[in-house]
A and B are shown apart, each in its own frame.
Chain A
Amino acid sequence: MYEIRFHGRGGQGAVMASKILAKALAEEGKFVKSIPSFGFERRGAPVSAFLRFDEKYIRKITNIYHPDCIVCLDPTLPRAVDIFEGMNSNGAWIQATKKSAEQFDIPKTVSKLGLCDGFGIAMEIIGRPITNTIMLGVLAKTTGIVSLDSLNKGMESIAFRDAALEKNMEAVRRGYEETAVHEVN
């Protein structure tokens, strides 16, 4: 089983990212289970979402406390919450940021790091700092757990509010192409 925890701020689409990825992984024949975290819902407040996938049916419907992968949709969020809490070793960290790898204090649990200026790309494509689908492209590039094709299929049945499907497909592609992947630790 592989466990992913999404971190974002209310409005950035962390929950939807988790749902899209669930649909994409299901396209590839994986069993999936995704749930949002349950906290006070308001724009800008830290939110998280959880996704598990496996080759066999997953029974438990619980939060994820020991993720193999952390996807952070917001550049300032790591200052507000400990996004690495409980992270498994040999983990992957996907981060929206303008910074380079040298500017981060990378935890020992991280072995793969994917960095991308999600905000910059989002402002160009959508005109608002909504980074969720961009960071799914970054996740695909960094970890290889899902293909771009499957992500596009996963988005087909999603009712997007802030941009059309085509723009989100462009967002996924640009995230994939504009990612710096680092092997660390």
Chain B
Amino acid sequence: MSKTIVCDGNEAAAWGVVKARPDMVAVYPITPQSSLAEYISQFVADGLIEADLMDVEGEHSVLSVLQGACLAGARTFTATCGQGLAFMFEPYFRTPPLRLPIVMSLVTRDGISPQCVWGGQQDAMTVREVGWIQMYCETNQEILDTIIMAYKIAEHRDVMLPTNVCHDGNYQSYGVEQVEIPDQGDVDAFLGEKNTNWHVALDPDRPMGVDPLTGGAAASGASLFVRYRKGTCKGMQNALRVIAEVHEEWGRKIGRHYSPLVEEYRLDDADYAIVTIGGMTGAGKDAVDMAREAGEKVGLIKVKTFRPYPLQAMLQAVSKVKAVGIVDRSVSFGWNAGPVYQEVLSTLYHRKERIPAVSFIGGLAGADITEDHFSQIIETTARTLRDEIPEGPIWINE
């Protein structure tokens, strides 16, 4: 039986883990992920999760433990953020080319320095080129559901890649609302057999070289390295199809439907649109509704899957409008703009005609992005249709 509870995003994620039945979890607490680690520990202690829980001395060990477990055939989970992710980076980078389907919550947090312990997507955005799948959630229900879907995506034979399910630190990690926990039998039927190490294993019965020495100037070394890189890229591209299929199947079997890659909200007759990612989206939709009531033909494009980048889905969305305002909760230092903005610019190259695009950066280090902020974002984006194009980026909480 499914049941409805009232919980925060970290607990919703932990319930997703319960239903996915991992064999091995390893956690190290860090704000604002800590309560997720605590829920997982409690659920293991209560017997709700029949997994081995390993308490290790830091995040580098967390992921190293899970790599070994995954190679031995275990379904695995962990969660981290911010500085914890930074400390994890060495095994983090190693995971995608090893093709290990590890699922990890990123409870996104802004970067240090200056000191801060609050939300922002700087951590996730900083690792956007490492080869992990990244999906960003809008509601606590979507967090729970996406954790479960992430296993089916990561473990798909055409994908075999680690997956980050991202939710915003603070606003979502501690934000409380109703969440429906699906029936275990329904989830078991949806997920099917686990599939973690048919391709690469630490298994005495199937001895094989794992993580071989490759590269260098010798032709065989170079080509082997290229094979690994191309394989990871191919897995990522396959993931676009698999993510869509898995979301469709989830909707069909569980009854909750999500746009897998990019969600279009009131976009079909829109003149212009704003682009959002993560927990800010709800306030963005409310602001779009208010602007619509005032006669503005504005829509919203929500990024669910950011890695692999959903080029075709985003191209279809932005092709419906004549201007876009992109709201980032993180900074691209190299471009003096937001990372999602840069990706949308790359998408727009695939359109014949040029349209204005504005970069907005807000919600850093726990700051709020309110409906009023979104109303200003909408107004500024609308003005670009009249050739009033501002110097970017526009810093919302300045």
Contact = CB atoms under 8 A, between A and B. Distances in A.
A62 B136 CA distance: 18
B378 to A, nearest CB: 15
Contacts of A23: 6
B174 A36 contact: yes
A38 B175 CA distance: 11
A60 B288 CA distance: 12
Given A33-B176, A33-B177, A60 B283 contact: yes
B64 interface: no
Given A59-B285, A60-B283, A62-B369, A35 B5 contact: no
A33 B175 contact: yes
A31 B176 contact: no
B5 A157 contact: yes
Interface in A138-163: 157
B5 A61 contact: no
B371 interface: yes
B214 interface: no
A19 interface: yes
B370 A35 contact: no
A2 interface: no
Contact of B370 (A15, A19, A63): A63
Given A32-B6, A38-B366, A59 B175 contact: no
Interface in A56-91: 58-63, 65
B16 to A, nearest CB: 18
B170 interface: yes
Given A22-B6, A23-B6, A35-B174, A63 B282 contact: no
B368 A62 contact: yes
A59 B286 contact: yes
Contacts of B162: none
Secondary structure class of chain A's binding surface, majority of residues: mixed
A59 B171 CA distance: 12
Interface string B360-384: 0000001011110000000000000
Q: Number of contact residues on B: which range applies?
A: 20 to 34
Interface centre among B168, B285, B368, by most A CB within 10 Å? Answer: B368
B172 interface: yes
Nearest to A15: B174
Nearest to B172: A61
Contact of A19 (B176, B178, B366, B368): B176
A38 B170 contact: yes
A61 B6 contact: no
A26 interface: yes
B279 A31 contact: no
Contacts of A36: 174
Contacts of A19: 6, 8, 176
A67 to B, nearest CB: 14
A26 B175 contact: no
Contacts of B371: 60, 62
A58 B202 CA distance: 48
Contacts of A34: 175-177
B118 interface: yes
Nearest to B373: A62
Interface centre among A23, A31, A59, A63, by most B CB within 10 Å? Answer: A59
Interface centre among A23, A36, A38, by most B CB within 10 Å? Answer: A38
Interface in A16-55: 18-19, 22-23, 26, 31-36, 38
A62 B368 CA distance: 6
Contacts of B178: 26, 31-32
Contacts of B369: 62
A26 B368 contact: no
Contacts of B174: 15, 35-36
A61 B279 contact: yes
Interchain residue pairs A-B with the least CB separation, the first 6: A59-B282, A60-B283, A34-B176, A38-B366, A35-B175, A60-B282
5 contacts: A22-B177, A26-B6, A32-B178, A61-B282, A157-B5
Interface of A: 15, 18-19, 22-23, 26, 31-36, 38, 58-63, 65, 157
Given A22-B177, A31-B177, A62-B283, 11 more contacts: A26-B6, A31-B178, A32-B178, A34-B176, A34-B177, A59-B281, A61-B172, A62-B368, A62-B369, A63-B370, A157-B5
